[in-house]
Amino acid sequence: MHRVESVEGLNTLSKQMRARRRSGDAVVVTLCGGTGCRASRCQDVIEAVEKELSGNGLAKKVITRVTGGHGFCEQGPIMLIGPWNLFYRRVKSDDVKEIISETVQKGRVIERLLYTDPATGDTVQNVDEVPFYTAQTPTLLSQNRRIDPRSIDDYLAIGGYTALSKVLSGMSPEEVIVEVEASGLRGRGGGGFPTAKKWAACRAASGEEKYVICNADEGDPGAFMDRCILEGNPHGVLEGMLIGAYAIGAEQGYIYVRNEYPLAVNNTREAIRQAREFGFLGENVLGSGLRFDVEIARGGGAFVCGESTALMASLEGKIGEPRPKDIHTVEQGLWNKPSNLNNVETWANIPRIICKGAQWFSDMGTENSKGTKILALTGKVRNTGLVEIAFGTSIRTVVEKIGGGSSEQGKTIKAVQTGGPSGGCLPESMFDLPIDFDILWEKGSMIGSGGLVVMDENTCMVDVARYFLNFLQDESCGKCVPCRVGVDRMLEILTDITQGRGRPEQIALLEELGETIAHTALCGLGKTAPNPVLSTLNYFRDEYEAHIHDKKCPAGVCKPLIKYSIDPDLCTGCAVCLASCPSGAISGEKGHAHSVDMRVCDRCGICLTSCHQDAVVVQ
């Protein structure tokens, strides 16, 4: 492919690509090739589709497209069939033959591959009617569905790089910053800092050499929106970085991506190669005189390297540890040069803001949080996956409408944990709160990277706090005392409480220590580390008190605090539990009520799950 030398050249090329893509009535088979679907063997399906199509002589008539993740990873491998927008899920390679002969050739729907709404029991044909998608505002994720991430032609055909041409053909760097400012875009990595403010500060910083960095070191367990964007739409991120570099005056960019994301690394690498070939990266971009290139830096998977200064230290080849931020990174960052670091999602939002205008973006969302945010919905809900919602959507909408409510019949949802390990827990009574940077922060939680873990009555909040603290303690870099020793001490206390050794004064100690860590730790990760404990102490103090005063775990999770017993009225003496108990703690004769000896019991819970009469009681 030849190099695009000018803005006009790009516009003609885009037109060509758009014309070429116009499929009319042709059948388009879209297969999700994201990591989630790969885990459920989508590659076998892709191979089978290609084989079947070429075997039937349809390879030229049917367009197949392997895309990045669609968000509904739990239902993978996902297949969309156009022009009918059919939504097939959990497709296996054995189903492919039938799909090609029935659906692709004759247009018949295969019922068993359709999605069934667990709430109503109805099957859904059209992808746009799947309840998981209807309550969303998919503006970023919807692009994933439309393009092959390894094809720049696809990206050009959906209007890719037009934002770049718009910027280069008549906007000054200041105008770009003003536009981004008007959109109200705030950093999606967790801090929620106004992006335009950061750009302006970096532009104003003195120094010839400046850097823009894309933070794709997504360390939060359960969050994978950055991976999904980078895998599914790497050109979108590159275009955002190009615009940012133009606005700031940088000539070099870095994408710091975890090595645990091989597909994201490969797709990004391919995208950079293509962009260089087309002349979007390198010297004299589109004949405008802009010089910008991007390199990939692969991270070793340390959670702390998602923190800006630690990331820059790691990029420099040093130990990935944060440094005091009394001098901001926009003034002295990478190699002590002004550096602008933004999250993948932030960068991916930029081209759309430039293309569609700041007004379009700021129309979505609340007063101080504009646009959309991708959340990773997991936990005890029916539908899990990536969810893109406009800011201001209530937590209840996400949990009940998109998530489909509690995954187990009859269980009530009691809390959500937002913002990854350093976020906080919010109780059910606060589910009507809109999802908004400032409101969640005020209530002791945060949006953070966008994780949303739903918990039901069988979740012990003390144990949850202990779990997250254990993760944070494990991932602490160990540089400063409050985080290294303080979090470790908090974990020690929580372990005591969950094992029945808690003392009443420890609650006050947890609060005091938590406050100290929150204010004195060196980096943002340390400062937010006590959040899981402080927010659960705030909203679920009764659970802590039950653990400490009554030595009981209300949710029946903390093993040293629970007791099993068998209800003699319900027990039929079937001896199933007796046979399945690995510790031999259950005794009794067939036909007579059994009993559990707690001195021998291991509290494994096998009897609880094996009993058909629900006679085993946990206290």
Partner 1 sequence: MSQYVTLTIDGSTVRTPKGSSVLDAALAYGICIPHLCHMPTNTDVGSCRICIVEHVLNGRSKITTSCSLLAKESMVINANSERVLKMRRNIAELLVTQAPNSRAIQDIAVRCGVTETRYPFRSGTCIQCGRCVRVCSETYGAHAIGFVGRGRDRRVDFPFGVRPDYCKKCWACVDLCPMKVTPCDGPMKPGEEYLCGKCESTMNQPQFTVGSCIKCDMGEGFDCVRHAR
The Cβ of residue 458 has, within 10 Å, a number of other Cβ atoms equal to: 14
Draw the binding track, 312-351, toward partner 1 (x: CB under 8 A; -: no contact).
Answer: -------x-x-xx-xx------------------------
Residue 486 binds partner 1 (CB under 8 A): yes
What is the C-alpha to C-alpha distance for residues 229 and 251, in angstroms, rounded to an integer? Answer: 24
Range in contact with partner 1 (rule: CB under 8 A) among 54-62, 225-233, 252-260, 482-490: 482-490
Residue 477 binds partner 1 (CB under 8 A): yes
Q: Which of 283, 474, 542, 614 binds partner 1 (CB under 8 A)?
A: 474
Whole-number minimum distance, CB 520 to partner 1, in Å? 5
Q: Which of 470, 499, 520, 595 binds partner 1 (CB under 8 A)?
A: 520
Q: State which of positions 289-308 bind partner 1 (CB under 8 A).
A: 302, 304
Cβ 93 vs Cβ 54: under 8 Å: no
Residues 6 or more apart in contact with residue 130 via CB below 8 angstroms: 72, 87, 115, 117, 124
What is the total count of residues that contact partner 1 (CB under 8 A)? 34
Residue 478 binds partner 1 (CB under 8 A): yes
What is the C-alpha to C-alpha distance for residues 145 and 70, in angstroms, rounded to an integer? Answer: 6
Mind spelling out the 3-state secondary structure of 349-370?
HHHHHHHHCHHHHHCCECCCCE
The Cβ of residue 216 has, within 10 Å, a number of other Cβ atoms equal to: 30
Mind spelling out the 3-state secondary structure of 373-431?
EEEEEEECECCCEEEEEECCCEHHHHHHHHCCCECCCCCCEEEEEECCCCCEEEEHHHC
Beta strands in 410-550 (DSSP E): 413-418, 424-427, 451-456
Mapped onto helix, strand or coil, the DSSP state of residue 342 is strand
Residue nearer to partner 1 on the CB measure, 443 or 489: 489
Q: Which of 513, 548, 558, 615 binds partner 1 (CB under 8 A)?
A: 513
Residue nearer to partner 1 on the CB measure, 184 or 486: 486
Cβ 394 vs Cβ 434: under 8 Å: yes
Draw the binding track, 249-288, toward partner 1 (x: CB under 8 A; -: no contact).
Answer: ----------------------------------------
Residue 519 binds partner 1 (CB under 8 A): yes
DSSP state of 188: T
Residue nearer to partner 1 on the CB measure, 272 or 483: 483
Residue 550 binds partner 1 (CB under 8 A): no
Whole-number minimum distance, CB 529 to partner 1, in Å? 11
Mind spelling out the 3-state secondary structure of 113-141?
HEEECCCCCCEECEHHHCHHHHCCCCCCH
Strands 339-343 and 290-299: unpaired
Nearest to 595 by CA among 578, 619, 612: 578
Cβ 214 vs Cβ 315: under 8 Å: no
Residue nearer to partner 1 on the CB measure, 289 or 324: 324
Residue 492 binds partner 1 (CB under 8 A): yes
Residue nearer to partner 1 on the CB measure, 449 or 476: 476
Whole-number minimum distance, CB 422 to partner 1, in Å? 15
Range in contact with partner 1 (rule: CB under 8 A) among 417-425, 438-446, 519-527, 558-566: 519-527
Whole-number minimum distance, CB 487 to partner 1, in Å? 9
**Which residues bind to partner 1, rule: CB under 8 A?**
302, 304, 319, 321, 323-324, 326-327, 473-482, 484-486, 488-489, 492, 505, 509, 512-513, 515-516, 519-522
